[in-house]
Structures are given as C-alpha cells and as structure tokens.
Amino acid sequence: MNEPPARVRVTGPPRRRTPLARTREVDAETPLGALYLGSLLREQLWLAARTLATLVLGLGVLPVLFVLAPGLTDVQVLGLPLAWLLLGVLAYPFLVLLGWRYLRRAERNEDAFVELMEAGRGPGPAPRRGGRR
Amino acid sequence: MRPDLDAAPGIIALVLVSVATLAIGTYGLRFSRTTSDFMVASRTVRPRMNASAISGEYLSAASFLGVAGLLLTFGADMLWYPVGWTAGYLVLLTLVAAPLRRSGAYTLPDFAEARLDSQTVRRACSLLVVGIGWLYLLPQFQGAGITLASAVGGPTWLGSLVVASVVLVNVISGGMRSITLVQAFQYWLKLTALLVPAAVLLVVWSGDGRPGAGPDAVHAGASRSLSWSSPLAESGSMGLYLTYSLIIATFLGTMGLPHVVVRFYTNPDGRAARRTTLVVLVLIGVFYMVPPVYGALGRVYAAELAASGRSDALVLELPRLMLPGLGGDLLTGLVVGGAFAAFLSTSSGLAIAVAGVLSQDVTGRAYAGRRLGGVAAFRVGAVLAVVVPAVVSLSESEVGVATTVGLAFAVSASTFCPLLLLGIWWRGLTAAGAVAGLAAGGLGSGLAAVLTLFPGWADGWVEILLRRPAAWSVPLSFLVMVAVSRATRRSAPLHVRRFMVRLHTPEVVDLDRG
C-alpha cells in the first residue's frame, strides 16, 4: 500500500489588512500617506520654483544685461528708451501671465490630489465634508 | 502764488475723501459685532473685493507720489521699485498665499506659534510686526503732513494729525469689516485720481507738439554717472549690487509686511487666497504703469522740481504746470484726493495689523486680575498703534520717507520671509532656529539701516552694503535659521506632519488637520 503523500500545508502570503481609505492613510501618517502628501508638496514646490525661475530669467537678468551691453541704454523702441519699455510697461503683463499660469497649474495639482484621495475611498468612518471651496 | 485760491481744490478733495471714508466705515460698522468681524471680517470676503482692498491698502504714498518723483530725479533704475513691489505678489502667490490662509491663524505671530509651538517665537514675531508696522506708519504720517502743507497750506503737523485722527476713528469704529469696504473704494479712487489726470496731461503734451526734455532737464543728481535710461543705480559692481539688493528686498519683503499678511486671513479658503493674489497682481500692475507717465512728463515740464529737491510734489504740481485755469484746478483736486486716500488706506491697514497683534499679546492680557474683552482690547490696541508713530512723526522729521519705507521692506525680507518660506515648505524648522534667524536678519538689516540714517561716517563699499542690506541680510537669516534648526533637530515640533497636511491640502478633502 502506498502511503499517501504527507500533507503539505498550503498558505498564501500573509493577508493584508483591509485597505484604508487614502485619506485615513494620510491621517494615520503611514508611509503610504506620507508618500501622498509628499508628492503633492513636491509638485507644488517644483511648480513654484519653475515660475520663479522664469521670473528671474525674465527680469532678474536685466541689470547684468545692461552692464554687459551698455549700448542698450541708448536703444529706443516705439519712441521709448528700452529700459523704460521693459520695466515700465512690459514687466507687468509678464508678471500677470506668470501668476495666471501658476494659478491654473497649482489648482490642477490640487484637483489631482482630491481625485486621488477620493478614488481610493474604502471602508472607514463616513467622510464628513468639511470646509468650503 | 495765490495760496487762498490755490488751496481750494485741495481742501475740497480732502474733505470729500475724509467724509466718504468715514461714511463707508460707518456703514460697515452696522455689520461688525464680534471679535472675528473686527479682525478678519469673519472670513467672508470674496476674491475680487478682497483684492481691491489689498491693493488699496498696499498702494501707499510712496507709490502714489514717491515713484513719479524718484523717476523724475533718478531715471529708469527707480522703475525697480514698482516692479519689485508687484513681483513681491508673484512670490507671495507661488509660495505663501494658499498655505498661509490654510494655516488658519489670525496674524503672523499666530502662524509662528501654530507652526512651531513656541511662545518665544510668537513674542519675537509680535515684536517684529509692531516694529515694522510703526516703521511703516511713521513715513505715512510724515508724508501726509508734507503733502497737505504743500497742497493746502498750513503747518506740517496738521496733516499728520488729520490722517492719524481719521484712521483712528475708522479703525476703532469698524475694524476689519468696514475697513475692507473702505480700502476697496480707495483702490479705485487712487487709480482714477492718477489715471485721469495722466490721460489728460498726455493729450496736452500731444497738443504741444510732443516736446522732448529740454536742455535744463539734465538730471539733478550730480553724482549720477549713468544716463536717465539706464536701469542701474550706479556704474560698475556697486551699481549692480545696489540694484540686486533692491530687487531682493522688494521681491521678498512684500510677503512679510504686516498689513499685507493680515488680509490673507479674510479669504474663505486657500484657493480664494490664491485667486485674490492673482487679482491683486493685475490691479497693482495696472496702477504702476501710470507713475512713469508723470516722471516722463515731469522731465519735460517740471525739471526745476527735481533741481530744487521737491520731486515728491511732482504728481501734485504737474497738472497746474501743464494746464492753467479751471482744468488744472480740477485735476489738482483729484490728485490731492488720491494722495490723501493713499495715506489713509495704508495707515488704516497698518493700524489694523498692529492693533490686532497688540490686542492679542499686550492689551488683551490680564493685568492685576482684570482683563479687557476682545473688542475693547482691539480698540485700545488701535489707539496705541496709531498714537505712537503719530507722536514720533510730530517730534522728529529728519528721517526721509523713502529711506524708512525701504528699511521696512529690508527688515521684512530678512525676518518674516525666511520664517514663512521655511515654515511652510521645510519640516525641519525648529523654534530655536526660527528665533536665531529672526534675530540675525532683524538685527543685521535693522542695524544697517539705523547706521545709514546717520550718514557721513562710512563710504565706499561699507556705505553701499549698509544702504541696501537685503542682499546679505536675507541669505544670512536663511543660513542661520537652517543651521540652528539642524543643530536642534531633536526639538522639532511633533505635530509638524499634521500641520503640513493643513497647510497644503485643499479644504474639500476630508483630512485630519490637527
């Protein structure tokens, strides 16, 4: 008689705990929650850095430029000295444009974060909608 | 001169602006009932209204009168002032606006305390808010005195007294809610008062056959070695340093001005705070395109003002110089009204900010077992906030208006800018680091400026470095803050991660914000 093969216990990998709502991950300061928050922070900071870098490139280099090329002082555009046109008129639409682009992208980043948080809503305490837009 | 007749349009404009300001303030009073109403208008101000109010508050006499005068005297390098004052809002928008609103604090000291959990940092910030506020109020009152003396006649102290009284009555009666309306009204008043005369004067200039600057228009600043069309203060590396230091002070100083920051708490949420800032950028950008017109026309028609050192009066006197008769009188009335509105709105905003801090940290405290209520404490704080600089402005008038305003920006950039940026974006900031950085930046920039007020003992590079300290004092403050925070890493507040959630996540997400 053949002995039946010894029983082998078959187990799966240890079962994960029930997934938390993503907002609870952030609340509980789990590594995953920290990752969510960190990615939002990095996105926003990187966006701000790019905006301000454009500001520096657009306006901040002007003094150096006028030192390197003193001839620019005498250039006239539309009857105005170049420096007056750049700093007296064009600087302002430039600033508003940068601000507008920043605002749109910053809100988009936040919308993505909201979506991320709400897409992963699992079991957990019923969310209370706090705050207003 | 016909002083009695000349004064008429100015006096009428002055009375009208004061009456309108007080009337709108009284209208607002009907809605101001709670402490929250007084301090942050219960956070119900919509972006467009709030942006008008912020702009109305921000455009001080330095913007309304000073820029045109500086342009007349020194030329294009002075364009950096208005550009920097506007760009400051872009920096504010990208790095500070939304998180600051989301922090949920009333004032800068509140923010510092909430972030760092430390009474010491709170006190250091209160001290700085009151210091910067008084520093900024002083030239407003002084400038008002000088302006009214030149536009209306009468002694200099009278103008300071009038502005101080109107501000005090307004702030005490209505607080922030009524002030929001008043400030919004004053932005549009100031824009009209500057834009309409500029347009008329441009037409006059065209009618005259578009004359260029006469031979006597050669700039009065004899020491200047560069032409009027250069965006640099002086030639060589010193000019480069001066220009960049000015850029740093204005770009980074705006976010720390107490009367600017306090406005962000009146937004309903972080997104509204951002949108408000963008509208502000538009509003003050439009405004700042106008003063160069006065500067350029002044070069043609009023060169003697620069020569005689009275260039600050350019905006007030140009209409009559170019347009004799009734037209000139009407325009003069308009610009005097605008200038007066500029003094009133900036001083009111500063008084509110300083009064808010004083009422929380000084007048609202219990003394000998007795304690003032919230609104009463705010009112006593307002009296202190206004009376102290008003008295100083009466007694001593040697300090130049532009010097003091520049000093306020440099101190703000060297203290609150590092505190806000590191507090918002870097988890590693500690209370000890913040205090050390505030002390280093504040003492450095403050000391440099005080030494500048007594000229003659330094020259060359030393004088240049002291005249515009921001380029070294701002990095110094950042460095000290980071270095000391690193050294005291263990004392970092425990709730910092939770606080970051509060600062950076949109309010609609349901999260625990501490």
- 3 state SS of A77: strand
Q: Which two three-digit tokens encode residue B390?
A: 């008003």
Residue B313 CA neighbour count, 13 Å, CB half: 20
Q: Using the beta-carbon criterion (under 8 Å), do A92 and B286 form an inter-chain contact?
A: yes
Cα separations in angstroms, B268 against B52, B107, B178, B264, B276: 16, 15, 17, 9, 11
Q: In B160-188, which positions are buried (b, 16+ CB within 10 angstroms) versus exposed (e)?
A: bbbbbebbbbbbbbbbbbbbbbbbbbbbe
- Sign of the dihedral defined by the CA atoms of residues B123, B346, A86, A45, in that order: positive
Q: Using the beta-carbon criterion (under 8 Å), do A84 and B229 form an inter-chain contact?
A: yes
Q: Residues with Cβ < 8 Å from B458, sequence gap 6 or more?
A: B451, B466
Directed axis angle between helix B291-301 and helix B156-207, to 10°? 80
Terminal Cα distance for chain B, rounded: 67
CB contacts under 8 A, B 41-100 vs A, are: 76, 79-80, 83, 86-87, 89-91, 93-95, 98
Specify the pLDDT at position A80.
77
- Mean of the per-residue pLDDT values for chain B? 81
Degrees to nearest 5, angle at CA B357 with B352 and B358: 95
pTM: 0.85
DSSP conformation class of B396: -
Nearest Cα neighbor of B197 from B88, B328, B100, B325 is B328
User: How distant is the Cα of A106 from the closest Cα of chain B, in angstroms?
Assistant: 9
Distance between CA atoms of residues B369 and B366, nearest Å? 6
Place of tokens 């093969």: A5
- Structure ipTM over 0.90, yes or no: no
Specify the pLDDT at position B150.
73
What confidence tens digit (pLDDT) does each residue in A101-127 have?
A: 999 999 999 998 888 888 755 555 544
Q: Using the beta-carbon criterion (under 8 Å), do B506 and A48 form an inter-chain contact?
A: no
Q: Residues with Cβ < 8 Å from B244, sequence gap 6 or more?
A: A63, B471
> H-type helices in B289-400, by residue range?
291-301, 303-307, 314-322, 326-361, 374-395
Q: What is the percent of chain A with per-residue pLDDT over 70, rounded to a whole number?
A: 81
Amino acid identity, position B274: R
Instruction: Determine the distance from the C-alpha atom of residue B123 to the mean position of all C-alpha atoms in its chain, rounded to a whole number.
Output: 22
How many CB pairs below 8 A link A and B? 156
Q: Using the beta-carbon criterion (under 8 Å), do B94 and A34 form an inter-chain contact?
A: no
DSSP B40-59: HGGG---HHHHHHHHHHHH-
Distance between CA atoms of residues B406 and B415, nearest Å? 14
Question: Hey, is the C-beta of B499 within 8 angstroms of any chain A C-beta?
Answer: no
What confidence tens digit (pLDDT) does each residue in B389-446 have?
A: 888 777 655 556 666 787 889 999 999 999 999 999 998 999 999 999 999 999 998 8
- Top residue of A29, A40, A96, A113 to mutate, by most chain B CBs within 10 Å, is A96
Distance between CA atoms of residues B422 and B492, nearest Å? 13
Specify the pLDDT at position B219.
44
Cα separations in angstroms, B134 against A5, B31, B143, B347: 91, 28, 14, 10
Distance between CA atoms of residues A87 and B228, nearest Å? 13
> H-type helices in B108-220, by residue range?
108-116, 119-151, 156-207
User: How distant is the Cα of B512 from the closest Cα of chain A, in angstroms?
Assistant: 6
User: Which of A62, A86, A131 comes nearest B508 by C-beta?
Assistant: A131
Distance between CA atoms of residues B358 and B364, nearest Å? 8
Residues of chain B with pLDDT under 70: 1-6, 25-45, 174-179, 212-228, 233-235, 309, 364-371, 395-403, 453-458
Q: In B272-282, which positions are buried (b, 16+ CB within 10 angstroms) versus exposed (e)?
A: bbbbbbbbbbb
- Sign of the dihedral defined by the CA atoms of residues B303, B308, B314, B317, in that order: negative
How many other C-beta atoms can be found within 10 angstroms of the C-beta atom of residue A130? 11
Cα separations in angstroms, B177 against B26, B43, B181, B370: 10, 9, 7, 28
Q: Using the beta-carbon criterion (under 8 Å), do A95 and B281 form an inter-chain contact?
A: yes
Distance between CA atoms of residues B501 and A37, nearest Å? 7
- A11 phi and psi angles, rounded to 5 deg: -125, 150
Specify the pLDDT at position B227.
63
Residues of chain A with pLDDT under 70: 1, 13-20, 120-133
Nearest Cα neighbor of B261 from B181, B350, B179 is B350
Q: Which two three-digit tokens encode residue B157?
A: 């102290």
Structural contact between residues B17 and B336, judged by C-beta atoms closer than 8 angstroms: no
Q: Using the beta-carbon criterion (under 8 Å), do A110 and B269 form an inter-chain contact?
A: no
DSSP B256-280: G-HHHHHHHTTSSSHHHHHHHHHHH
CB contacts under 8 A, A 56-115 vs B, are: 59-60, 62-64, 66-67, 73-74, 81-84, 86-89, 91-93, 95-96, 98-100, 102-103, 106-107, 110, 113-114
Q: Are strands B370-371 and B366-367 parallel, antiparallel or unpaired?
A: antiparallel
Specify the pLDDT at position B216.
44
DSSP conformation class of A90: I
User: Which of B76, B232, B247 comes nearest A84 by C-beta?
Assistant: B76
How many other C-beta atoms can be found within 10 angstroms of the C-beta atom of residue B206? 9
- Top residue of B94, B202, B224, B246 to mutate, by most chain A CBs within 10 Å, is B94
